[in-house]
Amino acid sequence: MKTIKSGLLFCFVLAVTAGLRAQSLDDIINKHITAIGGKDKLNSIKTIYVESTVEVMGNEGASVTYIINGKGVKSETDFNGQKIIQCVTDKGGWGFNPLAGQSSPEALPQDQLRGSQAQFQVGGPLLDYAAKGNKVELQGQEDADSVKKAYKIKLTTKDSALVTYYIDPSTYYIVKAVSTVNANGQSIETAIGFSNYKKTDFGYVMAMEQSISLPQGLTVNITNKKVDINKDIDPKIFDMPK
């Protein structure tokens, strides 16, 4: 009888502990969503238009990004008259990079699109993560860049892409995101640092600076200069030119 009672008590403790962990994880995510504007505010955003500067290896270019929430994102970056374009939608994606020798736009490989929908999901994949088919796991706390003991959250998208988020416990802003995808049988990791968070006139709080560490060893620094929320954007801009 004691053995049965002990077993039941052990199971009860495990169930309670699991519940506390899940509650703690959702609490962190909810505080993050609140910190960047709140669920209602984020869901009221239909489009985002951003003008930025992009710096790579000492070369600086002007960039424009168009986002239609849940539908697509398109970036156009001009380096000395050479325009690099990348477009990702809920149906696919394409790109054009004359600096890489391309003479016309090309469809993006399916592997490259895995997990890419986060780019046009306002609030990111942590917002309503379960409804989006994503799974999350709290992996404790870990130092991330200049932030001590950031919350470490592993997210697995419905198409099996992995993203690890590091959330500042003092602000609940994301300070770093590391994404891992498999392409051509290889695991490719990209890290993005987020800083200089500011509240837009609309009330949406976003990082105005990003530092992207690419697998090739390159670092891309992006500084947002202008942000317009719910500006009219024609979805036809996402169509790949024929």
Instruction: Give the model confidence (pLDDT) of 176-214 as tens digits.
Output: 999 987 666 677 788 999 999 999 999 999 999 999 998
Kindly state the helix (H) or strand (E) to which residue 199 belongs, with its residue range: strand 186-199
| Domain count across the chain | 1
The pLDDT value recorded for residue 184 is 65
Amino acid at 77: T
- Bridge-based pairing of strands 47-56 and 219-229 is antiparallel
With tokens 């504007």, the residue in question is 37
Q: Domain containing 86 — which CATH number? A: 2.50.20.10
Is pLDDT at 242 greater than 70 in this prediction? yes
Contact 209, 221 (CB under 8 A): yes
Q: Which two tokens stand for residue 167?
A: 């959330």
Half-sphere exposure of 227 (CA within 13 A, CB side): 18
Q: For position 135, what pLDDT does the model report? A: 96
* pTM for this prediction: 0.86
Tell me if residue 2 falls in helix, strand or coil.
helix
Q: Is the pLDDT of residue 169 over 50?
A: yes
Range of the domain at 142: 2-238
Closest of 161, 159, 64, 73 to residue 122, by C-alpha: 73
Is 153 in contact with 162 (CB distance < 8 Å)? no
DSSP 104: S
